Amino acid sequence: MPELPEVETVRRGLAPVMEGAVIAQADVNRPDLRWPFPKNMANRLTGKRVLGLRRRSKYILADLDSDETLLIHLGMSGRMLVSGDPLGQFVHNHPAPEKHDHVVINMDNGARITFNDPRRFGAMDMFATKEADIHPLLSSLGPEPLGNLFNEDYLTSALANRNSPMKSALLDQKIIAGLGNIYVCEALFRSKIHPTRPAKKVSKTRIARLVPIIRDVLSDAIAAGGSSLRDFRQADGELGYFQHSFDVYGREADPCRTSGCGSTIRRIVQSGRSTFYCPSCQR
């Protein structure tokens, strides 16, 4: 499932053709994905100007001049692909319709945004913009790891009484919004923290080092266009490239890249998810 860097990459790809433009026509080609589409969604989108695109955790939020917001979740295999871009950033002509093109948004500037989702685990919703903070999917999220509210003092306090493994604690969206399996593994490796260590036993000094490392891992991934492991594509259809920079994720039995380490990467399962780490570097 796309994590924060992938969603942010898609948001940045959509912004040049959607922000400030009017939705000339929206077509909804099925009644539901992960859950039913909002009532009259196509009509509620058509004719509305997109005031701005923002991201909250793993959700893209499009604020409209109707005082409503369109929420987009990519799910396991969802893609937001742009074609016919008049700004010249996307060279693709409008493609022929495909079986899993579930929502098609035509902008008044000639751009088309197609939401394609073969597995149908993605989702869309619409709600009053002023009610974003109380939306069921957004209300309990923790601070953004790239935002000012995420800092050493906050994370130290949030983990102080957590007996769960460090890996599990960092994946808790109520503690940090948007972090997923890939980037937690990479951040724990860079910070030399063992994924099974109880969160409350990680020292304040090590947490202080972890905070900027989390930011760096996410920023590096965004700069590389995210990670393409299976289905993820950027808005222009291109792959992300951060998977080529993984230190531990997906590298079970490969040698650790730390100079002089000599150990190999191991994989364990925590809460049904694969965790990759170096047993020598991470303590």
The tokens for 36 are: 């039913």
Architecture in CATH of 152-277: Orthogonal Bundle (1.10)
Q: What per-residue confidence (pLDDT) applies to 95?
A: 74
Pairing relationship of beta strands 273-277 and 101-107 according to DSSP bridges: unpaired
Q: At residue 246, does pLDDT exceed 70?
A: yes
Total residue count of the chain as it appears in this document: 283
| 58 assigned to active site | yes
| 273 assigned to active site | yes
Q: Cβ contacts of residue 260 below 8 Å, gap of 6+? A: none
Tens of pLDDT, residue by residue over 119-138, are 899 999 999 999 999 999 99
pTM: 0.89
**Euclidean distance between CA atoms 261 and 62, whole angstroms:** 47
Residue-by-residue DSSP string for 87-146 = TSS--PPPPPP-TTEEEEEEETTS-EEEEE-SS---EEEEEEGGGGGGSTTTTT----TT
Q: What are phi and psi of 82, to 5 degrees?
A: -100, 140
Q: Which of 49, 120, 209, 273 is catalytic?
A: 273
Q: Which of 11, 55, 56, 58 is catalytic?
A: 58
**Euclidean distance between CA atoms 157 and 154, whole angstroms:** 5
Q: What per-residue confidence (pLDDT) applies to 87?
A: 57
Q: Provide the residue ranges of all domains of the chain, joining segments of one domain with +.
A: 4-134, 152-277
Q: Which of 2, 16, 145, 195 is catalytic?
A: 2
**What is the end-to-end Cα distance of the chain in Å, rounded?**
28
Helix (H) or strand (E) holding 256: none
**Euclidean distance between CA atoms 171 and 117, whole angstroms:** 25
| 34 assigned to active site | no
**Euclidean distance between CA atoms 155 and 30, whole angstroms:** 42
Q: What per-residue confidence (pLDDT) applies to 98?
A: 77
Q: What per-residue confidence (pLDDT) applies to 81?
A: 87
Q: What per-residue confidence (pLDDT) applies to 101?
A: 95
Position 237 confidence tier, pLDDT thresholds 50, 70, 90: low
**Euclidean distance between CA atoms 227 and 106, whole angstroms:** 28
Q: What per-residue confidence (pLDDT) applies to 243?
A: 56
AA letter at 107: M
Enter the DSSP assignment of 239: P
Radius of gyration of the chain (CA): 20
Position 60 confidence tier, pLDDT thresholds 50, 70, 90: very high
Mark 72-88 as b/e (b = at least 16 C-beta within 10 Å).
bbbbbbbbbbbbbbeee
Locus of tokens 């991934």: 221
Q: What per-residue confidence (pLDDT) applies to 239?
A: 41
- The topology (CATH level 3) of 4-134 is N-terminal domain of MutM-like DNA repair proteins (3.20.190)
Q: At residue 90, does pLDDT exceed 70?
A: no
Pairing relationship of beta strands 68-73 and 50-56 according to DSSP bridges: unpaired
| 95 assigned to active site | no
**CA distance to 32, 45, 114, 142, 212, per residue, from 102 (Å):** 9, 15, 8, 31, 39
